[in-house]
Structure 1
Amino acid sequence: MDRDVKWRRVRTATVGFAVSGLLAAGCGGSGDSDGDGGGGESDTLVIFSGAGDFQANFNPYSPTKLEGAGTIYESLFFLNTARQEDPVPLLGTEYTWNEDGTELSISLREGVTWTDGEDFTADDVKFTFDMLRENPAINSVGFDGETTVVDPAHVTVAFDEPAFMDAANLLGKIWIVPEHIWSGVEDPSTDTMAEPVGTGPFTLGEFRAQTFTMTANPDYWDGEPAVQTIRSRALSGNQAGADSLTAGQIDWLSSPVPNLDNVEQAYPGYSATIANTYPIVLGTCSSVELGCEGPQTDPAVRQAIYYAMNRDQLNQLAYQGVAAPISPGFGLPDRDYVSGGLENGTAPMEPDIARATQILEEAGWERDGDGIYAKDGEQLELGVRVVSGWTDYITTVNTIAEQLQEAGIALTPQQSSWNEWSDARGRGDYQLIIDSLTPGPTADPYWLYANFFSGANAVPVGETANINWGRYGNPDVDAAIDELRLINPDDAAAREPHFDTIQTTLEQDMPYIPVLLNSTVSIWNTDRFTGWPTEDDLYAFPAIWSSPDSAQVFKNIRPAGGE
């Protein structure tokens, strides 16, 4: 396999315990579900993955999808961000670039069928790629290639200019859908696909508001999975997840639990893993031009919040001391290039109230009689959206609200269901919102910049943002991202000046206010199932909400005592 795209190693800290990794698909819910718990049927895996009542949305391109990416629908290859390794063939078997990076040739797996019995062919791949290109709402990767079917098992993708960086998303994060069904879909970004048809290892089973199942696909091209049923449960939040873990009612969760330094003793039969990779941020609706309103549209306010945080306190209170420092340029410390031009290579762990107030006052904000800053008759009062039940994030925003009082900033946490929170995030109906940024298909900061900071992914308030929900755009950042896209990622020297531009600009603009590097938790039942990722074999990123990594885990594990 010709791999002109270099897959770089992710920085992970794997130890004998874990902590939270709550992202867009995070944890939370509105009450315990019924159904089997851990310790039930030997080939049934019970997972905690819900947030409020489940909504039957199995469209892998929907920003509010429930499930489907990797489990029901597959990509061409699996790209592991947890370690450096060759892409794992799935629906694709081989790929090559031409010399100048303008044409990608892909060989496809033969003998694959969709779960309705129709054959999978190159026509489905072309249809999917064309659908992506023609629908900006789902084209968060900015794909603009021209796909040609060579024969039923081969396609080529041509680009107008070198597109080395397009390969990872195209090969590993685009979910191939059946042309014979999706050609009738009016809007692929909003159709919920309640009865999905895919090529993946699992199919949708029973569905209820607080529990749903996926069942092993008996005709899966790589053999029927040993785990016959995956039961997802909606619980009332992280505490309910920890309680269910204590009771042995679930087999895998990725959320914070008590006793992180003593997991195996506190939860007999379970073990856990940690990885510091995902940046926790206070996202801001940042662009006045795109319809954002409120004090957070002022970069001075965003910087003041950044300096007023006591991150050491946040780490201890919300993350049991195992979150990691974050860079304001969003290069992952100890893994990525971090610009020497940054004022802070990593965000200050202690607050600097004097700096925060200086920034505000130089921008024209003045304290009023209540001790809160105001400008042009508007007080510096902000709401921050957080999902009910996300206990670590709730603790984070409550603590930040207390910390900001000293800096003359009033912050009000606003809890809601995940569905309401996700909808508000997409439409820009918020001032601040707590979330984590997903790092992309490979261990390279380019993806974070191209996805979350590219003006090409910014849409007006009221329209659904697929990924740049901060609605940020800066011409210097956009130009640097465009240049990076053309450069072979092996050429570090050529890339560094563009990383310098991006990182130093982001430190000033700060559309996503850095908090900490989240410590991703996964705790799993090792008494009932074998084959989980370990420190010595991180064959997938160890988090239940990470797609398609969770699908790789589902395929790999086996009931304990099974063949």
Structure 2
Amino acid sequence: MSLDVKGRRVRTAAVGFALCGLLAAGCGGSSGGGDGGGGEADTLVTFSGASGDLQANFNPYSPTKLEGAGTIYESLFFLNISRQEDPVPVLGTEYSWNEDGTELSITLREGVKWTDGEDFTADDVKFTFDMMVENPAINSIGFDAETTVVDPTHVTVAFDEPNFMDAANLLGRTWIVPEHIWSKVEDPSTDTMTEPVGTGPYMLGEFKAQSFTLTANPDYWDGEPAVQTIRTIALSGNQAGADALSAGQIDWMTSPVPNLDKVEETYPGYTATIANTFQVVLGSCSSAELGCEGPQTDPAVRQAIYYGMNRDQLNQLAFQGFAAQMSPGFGIPDRDYISGGLENQTTPMEPDVDRATQVLEEAGWELGDDGIYEKDGERLELSVRVVSGWTDYITTVTTMAEQLKEVGIALTPQQSSWNEWSDARGRGDYQLIIDSLSPGPTADPYWQYANFFSGTNAVPVGETANINWGRYVNEDVDAAIDELGRINPEDTAAREPHFDTIQTTVEQDMPYIPVLLNCTVSIWNVDKFTGWPTEDDMYAFPAIWQSPDSSQVFQNLQPAGGE
């Protein structure tokens, strides 16, 4: 029943999952946290870094969704990107491929009900898969196949050609929705689903502009969760999150805090974990053909920014030294295949001003009297969007602005709320934007390319991009991605030439300008709840905003002192 997950693991910082071993207070935490984090022993209070007023959007297919994937709506299986293991059955119980990878057979769980009391059946799975085919805006994987209902608990998915790689997203990242409700939805990419009906362990409770709650589903097929209420709050930013943590008002947050090496001393009753997996980038609206405007549409400008960064300084000032080098080919070092044809196997940590200015001048940019390059009357001045309150990213772009003056580039940070930032990212209303590229359903670099670099997912400026928000299109890259999708992932030799093509091409085109591997920091209340992921039992990726991993954590938690 397993997908190929050979070599899968989370690349951790040297002080990562063993962080608590370095802390003076040890890993047990301090006393007194049992009634913290929100009062009720079975209420979990979380902060994901969201600032400003929350917008009610519980559509798991919306690029601006607030919640829903994994908690309210479920996939067929859970795929753990943190470690090598077989897929965990959820709404599906078994699956298998035919010999040539053109037909996928799936067995579904019996006795599952939607939260409105209707039965979950194979018709809902077929409807969901067909909905993806019919709506490109939610079809980030380019899924195109015919789904057939065999009986109420069995479906088959037939492809025109071998399509081994589609299985992971279909099984682990496709949220099954109820046909009896969603068949009436006019546009599944924009409907906000303010009254969501799912099969998941939680249901939407109360919604307010500054917080919302999920309540345990009493009829959940796997039993009612022990954590009865999850309350997610919005604050003004990372510092407000750290202050709330100090006051014992939050049980789980995934965002940086000061003094990461002293978490248990600073926040008694809490412990921390760090993972280097998400790739921080300056995303560019890269395609002039799709309507992007500005100097960033010139690959030479993107290259100059890449070489002009002092990543050692960025790491120390913005990430407390816990971030790590990434690859300009977007495979994760020490985990993925990295092409020998890359000019840089990993990102340079020191700036190369001479190389940056050489790239610009060879592309026709000339240094102006004010020290900033210009071309055809256009000054090399760029804005970069960043979410207000995201202190690590704000520090990154403000520091970068100072660094890039040395190479004749004027960079202006532009702060906004998460809602405005997210909307601008989707519509292409930006020149540069700082974000991180999320990993795919398994630890395989294929997903980075299929999601963020595939022309299938590129749309004109003004239309909402579901995932390739850099609007990158390259025929050679698209052809290599298509070929990888047809190859059994166990055949590593056959895959490597296609990885070579993709990695060396995107290094030159650089629609997403590599910064660093982010240090994903989660801090949680070990005095109030047990069952958190640990280094020895990393059953889900440890981040509150990572779906559906956070739902797996919710279901695994027990109030301290409970059963």
Q: Is the structural similarity TM-score above 0.5?
A: yes
Aligned equivalents of 1:4, 1:335: Cα separation in 2:
17
Q: Which amino acid aligns with 2:11?
A: T
The worse-fitting range, judged by mean Cα deviation, of 42-51 and 391-400 is 42-51
Q: Which amino acid aligns with 2:405?
A: Q
Aligned equivalents of 2:96, 2:173: Cα separation in 1:
18
The aligned residue for residue 23 of structure 1 is none
**Superposition CA RMSD, Å:** 1.0
Aligned equivalents of 1:5, 1:406: Cα separation in 2:
46
Aligned equivalents of 2:128, 2:7: Cα separation in 1:
27
The aligned residue for residue 256 of structure 1 is 256
The aligned residue for residue 461 of structure 1 is 461
Q: 1:141 deviation in Å?
A: 1.0
The aligned residue for residue 43 of structure 2 is 44
Contact 2:122 2:154 (C-alpha < 8 Å) held by counterparts = yes
Unaligned runs of 5+ in 2: 21-34
Aligned equivalents of 1:6, 1:542: Cα separation in 2:
19
Aligned equivalents of 2:91, 2:38: Cα separation in 1:
34
Aligned equivalents of 2:36, 2:146: Cα separation in 1:
48
Q: 1:290 deviation in Å?
A: 0.4
The aligned residue for residue 281 of structure 1 is 281
The aligned residue for residue 107 of structure 1 is 107
1:322 aligned to 2:322?
yes
Aligned equivalents of 1:319, 1:442: Cα separation in 2:
26
Q: 1:264 deviation in Å?
A: 1.1
Q: 1:166 deviation in Å?
A: 0.2
The aligned residue for residue 511 of structure 2 is 511
Aligned equivalents of 2:77, 2:163: Cα separation in 1:
18
Contact 2:10 2:81 (C-alpha < 8 Å) held by counterparts = no
Q: 1:64 deviation in Å?
A: 0.4
Q: Which amino acid aligns with 1:297?
A: T
2:17 aligns with one of 15, 25, 43: 15
1:483 aligned to 2:483?
yes
SS at match of 2:126: helix
SS at match of 2:231: strand
Q: Percent identity?
A: 82
Q: 1:557 deviation in Å?
A: 0.4
SS at match of 2:444: coil
The aligned residue for residue 55 of structure 2 is 55
Q: 1:8 deviation in Å?
A: 4.2
The worse-fitting range, judged by mean Cα deviation, of 47-56 and 154-163 is 47-56
The aligned residue for residue 150 of structure 2 is 150
Given the two structures, how large is their TM-score scaled by the length of structure 2? 0.96
Q: 1:97 deviation in Å?
A: 0.3
Q: Which amino acid aligns with 2:180?
A: H
Q: 1:108 deviation in Å?
A: 0.2
Contact 1:16 1:272 (C-alpha < 8 Å) held by counterparts = no
Q: How big is each residue's C-alpha offset from its partner over 1:192-226, in whole Å with a ceiling of 9 and x where there is no partner?
A: 00000000000000110001100000000000000
Q: 1:37 deviation in Å?
A: 6.4
Q: Which amino acid aligns with 2:62?
A: S
Q: 1:259 deviation in Å?
A: 1.2
Contact 2:5 2:443 (C-alpha < 8 Å) held by counterparts = no
SS at match of 1:104: strand
Aligned equivalents of 1:543, 1:12: Cα separation in 2:
14
Aligned equivalents of 1:396, 1:4: Cα separation in 2:
37
The aligned residue for residue 25 of structure 2 is none
Q: How big is each residue's C-alpha offset from its partner over 1:297-355, in whole Å with a ceiling of 9 and x where there is no partner?
A: 00000000000000000000000000000100001000000001111000100000000
Aligned equivalents of 1:446, 1:246: Cα separation in 2:
40
Contact 1:530 1:560 (C-alpha < 8 Å) held by counterparts = yes
Structure 1 segments, 4+ long, off by >6 Å, are none
Q: 1:6 deviation in Å?
A: 3.8
Q: Which amino acid aligns with 1:80?
A: N
Aligned equivalents of 2:254, 2:117: Cα separation in 1:
35
Contact 2:17 2:534 (C-alpha < 8 Å) held by counterparts = no
Aligned equivalents of 2:238, 2:87: Cα separation in 1:
34
The aligned residue for residue 241 of structure 2 is 241
SS at match of 1:55: coil
SS at match of 2:524: strand
Contact 1:4 1:97 (C-alpha < 8 Å) held by counterparts = no
Q: Which amino acid aligns with 1:391?
A: T
SS at match of 1:137: helix
Q: How does 1:108-147 map to 2 (within 5 A)?
A: 108-147=108-147
Q: 1:12 deviation in Å?
A: 2.7
Contact 1:530 1:558 (C-alpha < 8 Å) held by counterparts = yes
1:336 aligned to 2:345?
no
Aligned equivalents of 1:303, 1:324: Cα separation in 2:
20
Aligned equivalents of 1:527, 1:354: Cα separation in 2:
53
Q: 1:11 deviation in Å?
A: 3.1
The aligned residue for residue 376 of structure 2 is 376
Q: How does 1:393-472 map to 2 (within 5 A)?
A: 393-472=393-472
Contact 1:69 1:175 (C-alpha < 8 Å) held by counterparts = yes
Contact 1:5 1:168 (C-alpha < 8 Å) held by counterparts = no
Q: 1:145 deviation in Å?
A: 1.1
Residue-pair matches, total: 545
Q: 1:5 deviation in Å?
A: 3.8
Aligned equivalents of 1:372, 1:82: Cα separation in 2:
44
Aligned equivalents of 2:52, 2:73: Cα separation in 1:
24
Aligned equivalents of 1:335, 1:101: Cα separation in 2:
26
Contact 1:205 1:214 (C-alpha < 8 Å) held by counterparts = yes
SS at match of 1:406: helix
Q: 1:484 deviation in Å?
A: 0.3
Q: 1:16 deviation in Å?
A: 4.2
Aligned equivalents of 1:17, 1:40: Cα separation in 2:
28
1:547 aligned to 2:517?
no
The aligned residue for residue 561 of structure 1 is 561
Contact 1:74 1:175 (C-alpha < 8 Å) held by counterparts = yes
Aligned equivalents of 2:130, 2:243: Cα separation in 1:
46
Q: Which amino acid aligns with 1:111?
A: G
